[in-house]
Amino acid sequence: MDLLLPIKVSAALAVIFFILPDKRKLVVPAALTAAISLFIISIYSLFFRDIAISSMPYFMADTISKAVYSLISFFGAIMALYSSGFITRKLNRYFAYFFLTIASSLGVVISANWLIFTIFWGISGTALFLMIQLESGANAAAKKTMIILGGSDSLLILGIAIIYYATGTFTIGTAPWSGLAAACLLAAALAKAGGMPLHTWIPGCAEKAPLPVTALIPAALDKILGIYMMTRLFQIMRFPPEARMAVMIIGAITIICAVFMALKQHNAKKLLAYHAISQVGYMILGIASGTTLGLIGGFFHMVNNAIYKCALFLGTGQVEKTTGTARLEKLGGLAKLLPFTFASMLIASFAISGIPPFNGFYSKWLIYQGILEANTKDFQLLTMLCLLAALFGSGLTLASFMKLIHAIFLGSSSPLIGKIEPSRREKFSLVFPQITLAAACILLGLFAVNIFIKPVFGAAALDEIRGSWSPGTAAILIAAGIAIGLLLYWLSGVKTRRTGSFIGGYTVAPEMRLSGVAFYASIENIFPFRQIFRLADKKIFDFYEMLKTGLFYIIGILRYFHNGVLSNYLAWIFAGAVVIFLTL
């Protein structure tokens, strides 16, 4: 059994589901059985069979490829279960594109040949375009996604061509340094992962696409593929210090700019989308640091981000399916109604904010130490600024998720609660994936060394991280602190008396209800954020929109000359002939 079997099976399933009629009783059981079987086959192929590399000359199976391969198949199984309870229409086409995405993603991470890599890479982008279009009204978001990813794929091909010219082979291996090739490949990786400035397709995709699509691809698989490619790029090319510093600056800017944009969002899906972008900055910082600690931390953060970001999107999907909206100002008081979703999203929020002992803290801590280790006299100030940006970004992330959790689950109850039907509340297919991912946030925070770092990076990596962080001890101390606090509260015997708010006899209308949306509204009126947010709202920082505006402006000028008047055309022909005559 080789690693190509799950890819072949996924591709065959994509064809089968495309042919099957759109009948839920037929499609859902088949999709669940196929996805779970695919996960089992992948794990069996990776860990319980000898992989004959000689029989796969264009593929590879090192520990990094194996880790990402198993992670993709895991998300495939989790998302198939969630999708079965969430998607209600076009199920056959959805699962056809779903398995096409899984097949192409698996192909990317085991490709040892640039041509094979490019084919699978392109198929994954096409599958995303097709999945976004399943939702009515998402055509513009799908087109924007396709243009950005397709344009970056052109740069990928150019970078590969430069490497081929230098090495004479398409085999993915050591290549001489080329600034142009590195820039082209890095642009493709950043576009896929959502790093700035090639990030602008993600918020629109998150808002318009079916939520399982957002949770599977922009939040999980595209982050995995983009950062996987970036990791490979830093392995095959020796980046000079100046280039590494430039990439680190991109990472720091991505963290800060995206997290500030997240703070002002009133739509839960767009808020999570900007945090998905912000977290890419940490991965970029770690990998670009060029240190072993940074590489381990950046790659580990990629895994962690895929887990907790997927959990957050799935929780938001449960909220939207229950209430019919993802607008934060319309939500509130859902903790009792959706207890499992509340607990899962709370754990995932702690993880993404870098709160110990969850997995997000562990990977961020490794990244911080990797940045410190990379500190040199030439770039000491810039390195420290990058570290401060990462630390400040974590604080703002926590603030943002305080707003999200309060607005959805805490505070005064939303008027929508009384309209919710029992059938729209939590059910197994939607809750189990959230609980599984939340449990993974805890397990990878406490046992990261044995579960992930040692199997992927080997025993030698333990010498690098030893002493950097002891999650077991930290967990015990945190639990002890909480227990002591609860004990003191219980022993104090103080009882609080609650009374209603007296507001002079006025009746509190539903629109006067306070929500978490206004937590950081004042930041939009502070200089220089007020001006920056206004420019962002005008899409000044969206290179796609600026390029589109410029292109339409040029088309408008050309249209002015192309006015259908024959005499004008004759005049232009004559003028052109004169120019040619004078030139010759």
Place of tokens 């600056």: 249
Alpha helices by DSSP H, listed for 168-240, are 179-193, 201-208, 211-216, 222-236
pTM: 0.86
Which pLDDT belongs to residue 133? 84
Q: How far apart are CA 163 and CA 156, in angstroms?
A: 11
Q: How far apart are CA 168 and CA 173, in angstroms?
A: 12
Which pLDDT belongs to residue 139? 83
Which pLDDT belongs to residue 284? 93
Q: Is 137 left (phi over 0), alpha (psi -120 to 50) or beta?
A: left
Which pLDDT belongs to residue 285? 92
CB 70 within 8 A of CB 46: yes
Q: How far apart are CA 128 and CA 101, in angstroms?
A: 7
User: Which residue ranges of the chain lie beneath pLDDT 70?
Assistant: 1-2, 45-56, 219, 376-377, 421-424, 459-475, 493-516, 518-522, 524, 529
Burial annotation 202-229 (CB, 10 A radius, 16+ → b, else e): bbbbbbbbbbbbbbbbbbbbbbbbbbbb
Place of tokens 């050591």: 174
